[in-house]
Amino acid sequence: MASTDLKTIVERFNDCINNQDLEGLSDLMSEDHVFIDRDGKSHGPKSFMVDGWKGFFDMFPDYKNTFEKFQTIENEVYILGFAYWSKDEPYDPVIWRAKIEDNLIQEWQIFVDTPENKEKYNL
């Protein structure tokens, strides 16, 4: 798959996050979808994560992601950007990783934005 297609899938997934579109998120997740948090803990599968996103949106109604830079390596897209949580916490630098299989997000992972991680993922 071309890297622009992978980037488009990731952007669509993020649009669903930013619009709190649970149906759209579900449509873009593989059945074995896994979310990996900053601590490296895995959460899944898809059915669990759809409920997880609902709870997350209830807790953080203003949450949005802004993507600034992309790097594609095979079927993975690394993204540099920031998360907006609320007016009290407006800027949270983040690195995301999306693993894509069959045009669906199989893994969605968050890393701390550090110089080491930026170098590791060529961001």
Extents of the domains making up the chain: 3-116
The whole-model pTM stands at 0.90
Amino acid at 113: D
Q: Which of 120, 94, 13 is nearest to 5 (CA)?
A: 13
Quick: pLDDT tens for 1-26: 555 599 999 999 999 999 999 999 99
Considering only 11-15, 32-36, 65-69, 89-93, which range has the smallest mean pLDDT?
89-93
**Is the Cα torsion angle 93, 77, 56, 45 positive or negative in sign?**
negative
Q: Which of 94, 122, 107, 113 is nearest to 41 (CA)?
A: 107
Query: Which tokens sit at 30?
Result: 């593989």
| Helix, strand, coil shares, percent, the chain, to 5 | 35, 40, 25
| CB contact at 8 A, 98 and 17 | no
How many other C-beta atoms lie within 10 A of the C-beta of residue 67? 16
Predicted pLDDT of residue 2: 58
Instruction: Determine what percent of the chain is predicted with pLDDT higher than 70.
Output: 97
Predicted pLDDT of residue 88: 82
| CB contact at 8 A, 26 and 20 | no
| CB contact at 8 A, 97 and 107 | yes
Alpha carbon distance, N-terminus to C-terminus of the chain: 21
Considering the four listed CATH numbers 3.10.450.50, 3.30.750.80, 3.30.70.270, 3.50.50.60, the one that applies to the domain covering 3-116 is 3.10.450.50
